[in-house]
Structure 1
């Protein structure tokens, strides 16, 4: 406890649940001969055997997935090109082939942690002074692959938290690459990557504005089959164009199902090993409209890449690359509105300091400057933010994380000037939250960590992770918290 602050830890906990599974393709990519051999074995099964196996699969697995038949069909389509020419297959055999190229994956069998919380787009039908929320969490399963899952609920007038019942299934979204792509923005991103040249000009001038992914692929295929430039340079440029196009896409979930059934699972090469630590924020546009953004870290097993999620309804999500010299390291956290006409974002640069960035374009970040360095004993290893800043009448309230001896993670807080957020005006000198004894055990011991809080009825609601395995919630009165801070410059 920090001084006389009344920090309330809630009793409930969100734990990993291995029973919630999705279906993933089980296709040995890069090994077409093996794919063909598996298909050939299924093709040689007698019709009755096909029916018997498929019946057993349906009995064992169909009630674990809302759209089981559609999933098997989708996975069959992914290997259909490997069938012998002129194959004519029954519906059952096609489904069975799909099943042999399908696996179940438990998205949160290992951990459910690093939560962020924001106001739900739908606040209808609530009791006075109540608030409906959406919580995002980092779920980790087999192979330590991270994805994003969601929970929803209501915070009552007295601060009590009631979670909505979880859905019975999990759904992965439809990946849509063929959405309209802004040609000018695409060109700017290629330039920022250092990939803009006469080859990109040749391709882009043949595309409409906006263009579709399929339009781009036609031009790439044409140039690949009819080279007009240096072979090596053309190959490198086409790889860069393809990478950028595949890194900006849309995800669409079916309507009408609980948000707890939606899981954003890695779909691209950049995030093949994980979508980490999404920091969601409710952002107010200049015209007053609300849009939700989330910064996150894409991980492919060897490289991290800061990315951006955009949504208005939590059913359709745009995945966007962030570009610029300042887009480095982890822990990007966007302010909930522009300040002095600029987008503003916090980040951790160099692995240990908190920095602030300004930009006139949400996708491009060129410069950053340090606003906070480790200074207190509990944060001497590194510091960073714990989610997007929260606006108060006193200034921007920012939860921070600090790493101290024995790699113990604690949560602190700073207050930034409302008009000049590069200036810290107050801060806690001791942690707001440190691991309790029952919070020390987990995948990464001695860690409490959050990716975003919210303020409701002058209470700061803090969802937080416990040792990278489960999640809980704490709260503290905002006025008391700010009053307990030391003013910067005071002894």
Structure 2
């Protein structure tokens, strides 16, 4: 059966928007290594210049800064103050500041960052925790997206949308502003800090941007695979993602119940040293289960009693068809069907062309592969071949609703779109 008979592209495009900005700490370039330790740093020079301003000129300058930037950010004066608070120890030698001086100094040590200027891609989708506004027979959903800006730094952002009773999709308008969370808690641990982040409830979902906050994430939070996890009637949203320091990668975990507060922590074990881990939406035989690819080529099934510790595993899927000869990987958490676990996969073929396929795993023993798609379900159409990374379609997670699979997918590592798949036809099409 041709994929065209059961897959429908939606033309619901989510493209990067350079106008969406957050403020990030600005740190002046480091001084030469032979600088005398008693010499003043560039930061001290900046502070001294601000303190030397006539109070009226300082107030006028601050007013000009606000006129230029206040409409682009929430609570900008508070942000300036918070930046100065972080620098308090370094600034102590300068003595007390007036509130205008504090706010102005904070402004000098911040810069705007267009977090999705280059790309908005690799989405995953889960049911919204609040279904109070869902249409009859429909569903509200949350979409996570990988945003890439200057320096190829990846962050995590969100959208909300609706699936109507007839299966049609809409995505809510994107907020004009964007905001970073407050670090509520930081727990140092041998394997890396555990972080708790919280957003202001007044901020719309699409305002919320999780930017790297630890050393392991410093060059990117990549490819979050969100899943609604059910355990004894309690629902928690988990996402595995790749933390990139600029030198090394590892898998980490996000946990949230409301998409307002997030806990981020490193994963441990031999299987967590690579990319592309995806958690099953429930325990199997009392254990957590994960799909992973610790050898860069095959897909493994791993069980664990500890959500943060992942070792070993059993290879269950290897490259078999020409469109996946280079490697295969998962495209998000398995989706539970009556027939078994539907696992979306990506395959890499000639000229590094990425396509999306599927496998059906036994519901009681996911190490048993019941069926696989011989041909890709989704591959780059001619209009989808151009972008930051050409010839790629990719997803970090789909969702079942009624008789279809809702599949958000990325196009050439640049923008995102949606497809819907008729579930029964897909199962019949796999061999």
TM-score greater than 0.5 by the shorter chain: yes
Match of 2:8 in 1: 8
Say which of 419, 422, 427 aligns to 2:364: 419
Deviates more, 1:130-139 or 1:157-166: 157-166
Match of 2:313 in 1: 368
Match of 2:76 in 1: 68
Match of 1:254 in 2: 200
Match of 2:127 in 1: 119
Q: What's the CA shift for 1:29?
A: 8.0
2:165 is equivalent to residue 157 of structure 1? yes
* Contact 1:5–1:484, Cα closer than 8 Å, also in 2: no
Map Cα deviations across residues 231-270 of structure 1 (whole Å, 9 max, x no partner).
xxxxxxxxxx6654x5211001111321101011001100
Deviates more, 1:254-263 or 1:444-453: 254-263
Match of 1:173 in 2: 181
Q: What's the CA shift for 1:106?
A: 0.6
Distance 2:340 2:91 in 1: 64
Instruction: Within 5 Å, give how 1:46-445 maps onto structure 2.
Output: 46-83=54-91, 85=93, 87-178=95-186, 213=187, 244=191, 247-285=193-231, 287-445=232-390
Instruction: Within 5 Å, give how 1:466-481 maps onto structure 2.
Output: 466-481=411-426
Q: What's the CA shift for 1:58?
A: 0.5
Q: What secondary structure is seen at the aligned counterpart in 2 of 1:445?
A: coil
Structure 2 vs 1, CA of residues 84 and 333 (structure 1 numbering), >3 Å: closer, same or farther? closer
Distance 1:396 1:256 in 2: 38
Match of 1:20 in 2: 20
Q: What secondary structure is seen at the aligned counterpart in 1 of 2:79?
A: helix
* Contact 1:292–1:310, Cα closer than 8 Å, also in 2: yes
* Contact 1:279–1:294, Cα closer than 8 Å, also in 2: yes
Q: What's the CA shift for 1:115?
A: 0.2
Q: What's the CA shift for 1:79?
A: 2.0
Q: What's the CA shift for 1:51?
A: 1.6
Q: What's the CA shift for 1:171?
A: 1.0
Q: What secondary structure is seen at the aligned counterpart in 2 of 1:344?
A: strand
* Contact 2:14–2:416, Cα closer than 8 Å, also in 1: yes
Distance 1:361 1:143 in 2: 35
Distance 1:276 1:269 in 2: 14
Map Cα deviations across residues 361-396 of structure 1 (whole Å, 9 max, x no partner).
111112111111111000000001100000000000
Say which of 398, 404, 413 aligns to 1:459: 404
Match of 2:35 in 1: none
**Structure with greater strand percent:** 2
Gaps of 5+ in 2: 32-39
Q: What's the CA shift for 1:82?
A: 2.6
Distance 1:407 1:4 in 2: 23
Match of 1:42 in 2: 50
Which structure has the greater CA radius of gyration?
Answer: 1
* Contact 1:2–1:431, Cα closer than 8 Å, also in 2: no
Q: What's the CA shift for 1:49?
A: 1.9
Q: What's the CA shift for 1:39?
A: 0.8
Q: What secondary structure is seen at the aligned counterpart in 1 of 2:370?
A: strand
Q: What secondary structure is seen at the aligned counterpart in 1 of 2:243?
A: strand
Distance 2:142 2:73 in 1: 23
Q: What secondary structure is seen at the aligned counterpart in 2 of 1:327?
A: helix
Distance 1:85 1:463 in 2: 53
TM-score, with normalisation over the residues of structure 2?
0.95
Distance 1:84 1:393 in 2: 65
Distance 2:274 2:424 in 1: 33
TM-score, with normalisation over the residues of structure 1?
0.84
Distance 1:254 1:298 in 2: 25
* Contact 1:389–1:398, Cα closer than 8 Å, also in 2: yes
Q: What's the CA shift for 1:165?
A: 2.1
Map Cα deviations across residues 56-75 of structure 1 (whole Å, 9 max, x no partner).
11000011001111111111
**Structure with greater helix percent:** 1
* Contact 2:3–2:378, Cα closer than 8 Å, also in 1: no
* Contact 1:157–1:457, Cα closer than 8 Å, also in 2: no
